[in-house]
Copies of this chain bind each other. A is one copy, B any other.
Amino acid sequence: MSVMIRPTPISGFPEFLPAEQILFGKILATIRQSFELYGFAPIETPAVERKDVLTSKGGNEREIYALSRLAAAPGENPDTDLALHFDLTVPLARYVAMYKDKLAFPFRRYQIQKVWRGERAQSGRYREFYQCDIDVIGKGDLSLLTDAEIPSIIYQIFHHMRIGPFVIRVNNRKILQGYFHHLGIPTAHQVDVMRLVDKLEKIGTRQLTAELMAHMGLTESTAGHVIAFLDHRVSNDEMLAHLRSLTHINDRFAEGVRELEIVVEGLRTLNVPEDAFRIDLGIARGLDYYTGTVYETILVDYPGIGSICSGGRYDDLASFFTEEQLPGVGISIGLTRLVPRLIEAGILKVGSATTAPVLVTSLEESRTREYLRIGTMLREAGVPTEVYFEKARLGEQLRYAHTKGFTLAIIAGERELAHASVKVKNLRTGDESTHVLHDLPQTVEEILRASA
């Protein structure tokens, strides 16, 4: 009758089956809980902003999705001045500027939302993905301890997620700026040098030297100094000693070192273990708006995944929207990219496809009321429970239970119900035992605890 539409995946717009989605949701909940443990308040901005807001900072217009209505009444313009946000930083800047008189500063916010980028979809590139951001925004000032607190929260999150060993790399762009100035690299070139320097790990020393000479006009000797300085890999204390020995070169450099020392001391006071953070002069974060501390986070055993969490300090969040100086520090976890890779690497395990551990099966149609009541009884005790309603043999119901990944099946035929009892089948072990119906919630809780 009607034409069938064959639904197919849309490239760059990921979608999970229920078991993966449940896992993803648990990770989101962990992140949310950690942010809240430190008193960060959630905010949520609309998915859209005005086009002029989004392009204020020079967002890439080819990557921004604009909205227009699919149809319009005659004479009506279907276009809008709206487009989907491509990150959560521009919306934050707009939000803080707009409500600055209603917010208390330092403003500590987290924001977990999807963002959209109309990129050519390549492997691993998403057009729709989650960002999990925290930022602290000051009015006029913002303590450098914030630069230590933010990565300490990230440490807690990844530690609790059990994603294996990871290192938060820390640097301060003032150190790089001071050092580049000392080498005679003009200020106007520094951002480009930093952008190249960010590629050190990817392209290696030799090619970076060549590129610094070709594109930045450095001499081979200066390029060598730059790389030797950036690629210096020693312990945090050795690095601080090394940097301290160079603070005479200029004030900018010395300021960066002083800031970095405060951040390192703060990380230690906040119980971040020494092997979980590393001063790394080689990281610079390409973006122009970071002005001091910068971070990247890598998985020790999977460096190929790249940075799983990045951010830094910026002097002025919302210069396009307000005259007020609003310095901030923030960090962002790119969860959509991260989770599938952690699953692939076997670090995260996809579990069951149901949120309930218990399935109450239906054996006798005349006993449906009892099955419903067993479900209610378990739920009232806080045990998530599904009751199977459909007409199906027990074998089919147990297959359903296995497919979805329930832990326990409750089985009650005439015989059991006549004695006010039920059978509990552990679907992981195959064990079956009979229990008094009255005590079922307690019994189930015990078995679940034991099998966890």
- In the complex where A13-B46, A356-B38, A390-B141 touch, is A53 in contact with B7 (Cβ < 8 A)? yes
CB-contact partner of A376 in B24, B25, B270, under 8 A = B270
CB of A15 within 8 A of CB of B45, answer: yes
- In the complex where A17-B102, A67-B67, A97-B7 touch, is A47 in contact with B118 (Cβ < 8 A)? no
**Chain B neighbourhood of A15, CB < 8 A:** 44-46, 95
**Chain B neighbourhood of A275, CB < 8 A:** none
CB of B320 within 8 A of CB of A5, answer: yes
- In the complex where A5-B53, A128-B46, A376-B271 touch, is A118 in contact with B41 (Cβ < 8 A)? no
With the chains together, A8 CA to B94 CA distance in Å?
9
CB of A67 within 8 A of CB of B65, answer: yes
**Chain B neighbourhood of A66, CB < 8 A:** 67-70
Q: Does A442 contact B (CB under 8 A)?
A: no
Looking at A8, A41, A320, A386, the one whose CB has the most chain B CB atoms below 10 A away is A41
Question: From residue 372 to 421 of chain A, which have CB atoms closer than 8 A to chain B?
Answer: 372-373, 376, 379, 382, 384-387, 389-391, 400, 403-404
Each complex incorporates copies of this chain amounting to 2
- In the complex where A43-B21, A44-B15 touch, is A69 in contact with B118 (Cβ < 8 A)? yes
A120 to chain B, nearest CB (A): 10
Binary contact track A96-119/B, C-beta < 8 Å → 1, others 0 = 011100111010110000101010
Q: Does A274 contact B (CB under 8 A)?
A: no
CB of B5 within 8 A of CB of A46, answer: no
Q: Does A452 contact B (CB under 8 A)?
A: no
Q: Does A450 contact B (CB under 8 A)?
A: no
Chain A residues bordering chain B, tally (CB within 8 A): 109
**Chain B neighbourhood of A8, CB < 8 A:** 98
**Chain B neighbourhood of A102, CB < 8 A:** 17
CB-contact partner of A353 in B41, B45, B269, B389, under 8 A = B41
- In the complex where A71-B61, A104-B400, A270-B376 touch, is A39 in contact with B386 (Cβ < 8 A)? yes
With the chains together, A372 CA to B263 CA distance in Å?
13
CB-contact partner of A389 in B22, B55, B118, B146, under 8 A = B146
Q: Does A188 contact B (CB under 8 A)?
A: no
CB of A138 within 8 A of CB of B68, answer: no
CB of A21 within 8 A of CB of B40, answer: no
At the interface with chain B, which of A76-84, A195-203, A218-226, A239-247? A76-84
CB of A269 within 8 A of CB of B373, answer: yes
CB of A48 within 8 A of CB of B7, answer: no
Q: Does A205 contact B (CB under 8 A)?
A: no
A-B contact pairs, 11 of them (CB 8 A): A6-B321, A14-B46, A36-B384, A37-B384, A38-B356, A39-B359, A41-B353, A47-B114, A63-B69, A67-B67, A80-B118
